[in-house]
Structure 1
Amino acid sequence: MSVTYTIDPCEKVKVKESYEWIDFQYNCRTQADYLNKRLMLMMNAIEEKIAYKTAAESILLQGNWASDVTTTGDVYRAGVWKSGGYDINARWMPDMKMATMQTGYCSPILVAGAMDFYKAAQVMNSGCCTSAGVDLASILANFGEAYEWDPYVTTAFGNNQYSLVTQLGALQLLTYTAGTAPNFEGFINMGGTNFELHPLTTMRYGIPVDLLLKNDCGTLTMTMTTSTKVVAPPLDMFPTSDPLSGVNYVNYAEAYTLS
């Protein structure tokens, strides 16, 4: 097993706003209140950009299901609905649990993306019994993972039926900012004649960002940047002869209706 993770500090996610001095002169709020609101909106905007970027990178980190799991092109297909799309297939969740067990999943599991996985889990949460007498709520309690609809993931897939299956800790978000790099410490603690660099973290997700404040002859520019990259475990954790060869706990699953 060998892997080196790197991140390019020149590849940045950026949000930028500019204001004229007159914007502050005729503002009915205090300058601090106005700037704080603008900062919150910039943080929301950069987190939104990071969410799309993270989803797009995550689906490219796909590993294998275990070799003894039945897949179609290394995509696990789960028939969540019976023919007609109204009655739920009571076996889909235990079958999917079995597939993750065969693949060596050993931490809390997230299935994020497809609406049908989310809707089927919600139906089972409120369900009673199938025509075969199977208690759906009991199945969810015993086999339920975290099934979430995630529009960022489905957008990245370009397919509303696909979900990303992963476990806690398998995907990690690397970040880099000048404000948190030790070798830049001297630089960030001093301001130029017309600029200042401040290290911040976003309010919702705590992502480190750099905030550059610059004054160009009365025009204030605020630029918020960060560098991010999603990484996963290497694909050579298991010998090629092992059923888990190529497994890194990042997998694809597709929800479909049984014929």
Structure 2
Amino acid sequence: MRLEVERLTLGYGRRTILAEASLEPLPGGAITALIGPNGAGKSTLLRGLAGLLPARGSVRLDGEEMAGQSLERRARSIAYMPQSLPQGVALTVMEALVGALKASPTAEGMPSARAAAERALALLERLGIAELALVGLDRLSGGQRQLAGLAQALVRRPRVLLLDEPTSALDLRHQLGVMRLVRELTLQHGLVTVLVVHDLALAARFADRVVMIGEGRVRAQGTPEETLTPAMLAEVYGVSARVERCSHGHLQVLADAPL
């Protein structure tokens, strides 16, 4: 499985946010991290891949053009997690997960009510929030809502997983837990996983490929070692930075000063 993006242009109204974005083919079983300064176009690219914005260019999944597909058809293959869940939703966490399964049946078809509940509960257990199954979404903390949103995206077992800052509201322990689970499921099910992340240490540690976006254009793409360089960090982020490995071998970005 692979996702191909060629000359994708996205925006809001007449304002172009991302111009002529072409990505190297994104393979199944790998995580691609979108990084870059605030307002660079990362979330816009993710929404474009999800089919939520008018677009020019090409997005193909296993050679099939996604442009023109209805949201319902696209949702059978692609799961998208926004930065924040809608407020005021009068559902429990379990009801939200079962509802996500019913709203977007996969190629496996619609699971029975019992099977849907069992799948949802098993996923909540893996995320460490099984105790929240019967709690209303409107009663969750920011971090709990983020975990519930991730569960909604994962429960459908999509082919493509799009996550917009999935760890931004989480403490360090849950950040690592979520990223390890995303990596495990990506490998286990051969998912094409694309996520927006601001923490460059998480991108370097868990992503197979990194796409650096700046000022509405793709500025670099490749492995973390190829993209997270002092020269690119200076050019795109405007900071003087060092890139070193810690005692465990993980790549670390140490920002010294703004330029």
TM-score by length of 2: 0.24
From the two aligned structures, give the one with the greater helix fraction.
2
| Structure possessing the higher relative contact order (Cα contacts under 8 Å, 6 or more residues apart) | 1
TM-score by length of 1: 0.24
Higher-Rg structure is 1
